[in-house]
Amino acid sequence: MAFVDEINIRLKAGDGGDGVVRWMHERGKEFMGPAGGNAGHGGNVFIEGVRDIGALFAFRNIKTLEAERGRDGGRDSMYGRAGDDLIVKIPIGSVVKNLDTGMEIEILKEGERVQILRGGGGGFGNEHFKSSTNIVPEQSTKGKIGDGADFHIELRLLVDAGFAGFPNAGKSSLLNALTNAKAKVASYQFTTLEPNLGDMYGFILADIPGLIEGASEGKGLGHKFLRHIARTKTILHCISLENEDIAAAYKTIRAELEAHSPELAAKKEIIVLTKTDLVDEKILKTRIKEAKKLNPDVMYVSIIDDEQVKEFRDNLIKTLRV
Ligand SMILES: Nc1nc2c(ncn2[C@@H]2O[C@H](COP(=O)(O)OP(=O)(O)OP(=O)(O)O)[C@@H](O)[C@H]2O)c(=O)[nH]1
Ligand SMILES: [Mg+2]
Higher local confidence (pLDDT), 59 or 4: 59
Strands 104-107 and 6-12: unpaired
- 182: in domain: yes
Residue 117 sits in which domain range? 6-155
Q: What is the mean pLDDT of residues 279-306?
A: 97
For the residues 134-157, what does the mean pLDDT come to? 95
The predicted structure's pLDDT at residue 196: 87
> Any alpha helices (H) in the chain, and if so which ranges?
171-178, 246-260, 262-265, 281-294, 306-321
**Residue nearest to ligand 1 atom 13, measured at CA:** 170
State the distance from the centre of ligand 1 to the C-alpha of 26, rounded, in angstroms: 82
153 pairs with which residues across the strands? 7, 96
Looking at the CA of 186, which ligand is closest? Answer: 1
| Nearest to 141, CA basis, from 128, 125, 119, 120 | 125
146-164: b or e for each residue (b if 16 or more CB lie within 10 Å)? bbbbebebbbbbbbbbbbb
Domain count of the fold of the chain = 2
For residue 268, being part of any structural domain is answered with: yes
Let me know: does 318 contact 297? Beta carbons within 8 Å: no
Per cent of the chain over pLDDT 90 is 78
Ligand 1 proximity of 195 Cβ (cutoff 6 Å): no
- Name the residue with the closest Cα to ligand 1, atom 12: 168
Residue nearest to atom 1 of ligand 1 (CA): 275
- 165 and 310 housed in the same domain: yes
CA distance 172 to 238: 10
Task: Please report, as a single letter, which amino acid is at residue 208.
Answer: I
Identify whether residues 10 and 140 lie together within a single domain: yes
Q: What is the reported pLDDT for 5?
A: 85
pLDDT, tens digit (0-9, with 9 covering 90-100), for 85-128: 999 999 998 999 999 999 999 999 999 999 999 999 999 999 99
CA 165/CA 64 separation, integer angstroms: 39
Tell whether 19 and 141 lie within a shared domain: yes
CA dihedral sign, ordered 211, 234, 265, 232:
positive
Q: What is the pLDDT of residue 1?
A: 45
238 CA closest ligand 1 atom index: 19
Is residue 294 located within the same domain as residue 167? yes
Q: Quick one: 69 and 204 in the same domain? A: no
Q: Using an 8 Å Cβ cutoff, are 68 and 16 in contact?
A: no
DSSP collapsed to 3 states, 77-144? CCCCCCCCCEEEEEECCEEEEECCCCCEEEECCCCCEEEEECCCCCCCCHHHHCECCECCCCCCCCCC
- Long-range contacts of the stretch 312-316 (C-beta < 8 A, 24+): 312/178, 313/178, 313/200, 316/161, 316/178, 316/200, 316/203, 316/236, 316/270
77 shares its domain with 186: no
- Determine contact, residues 174/238, Cβ cutoff 8 Å: yes
Whether residue 122 is contained in a domain is answered as: yes
Report d(CA 178, CA 268) in Å as an integer.
Answer: 20
Greatest extent of the chain over all pairs of C-alpha atoms, in Å: 107
Cβ–ligand 1 distance for 176 under 6 Å, the answer no
Least confident residue range of 69-78, 179-188, 267-276: 179-188
Look at residue 270 and tell me if it is in a domain: yes
Report whether residue 240 contacts ligand 1, using a CB cutoff of 6 Å: no
Domain boundary among 108, 136, 155: 155
* pLDDT score recorded for residue 2: 61
User: Do the domain assignments include residue 314?
Assistant: yes
CA of 265 to the centre of ligand 2 (A): 21
Does residue 27 sit in the same domain as residue 120? yes
Residue 1 in any domain: the answer is no
Single residue among 155, 174, 196 that ends a domain in this structure: 155
204 and 131 in a common domain:
no
Cross-strand partners of 87: 46
Mutate to test the pocket of ligand 1, among 166, 185, 238, 277 (most ligand atoms within 8 A of CB): 185
CATH number of the domain residue 175 falls in: 3.40.50.300
pLDDT of res. 62: 96
Same domain, 13 and 79: yes
Domain containing residue 61: CATH number: 2.70.210.12
Are 170 and 23 within one domain?
no
Q: Is the C-beta atom of 169 inside 6 A of ligand 1?
A: yes
Q: Is the CB of 185 under 6 A from ligand 1?
A: yes
Together in a domain, 169 and 126: no
pLDDT at residue 192 tops 60: yes
Q: CB atoms < 10 A from the CB of 138, how many? A: 10
Neighbours of 214 (CB within 10 A): 15
144 shares its domain with 11: yes
Which residues are within 8 A (CB) of 126 and not within 5 positions of it... i.e. 6 or more apart? Answer: 19, 20, 21, 22, 34, 35, 36, 137, 138, 139, 140
Ligand 1 closest atom vs CA 166: 25
**Average pLDDT of span 57-71:** 96
Please check the confidence at residue 61 and state whether its pLDDT lies above 70.
yes
Nearest CA to ligand 1 atom 5: 275
* pLDDT score recorded for residue 157: 77
**Last residue in a domain, options 155, 173, 191:** 155
**307 alpha carbon to ligand 2 midpoint, in Å?**
23
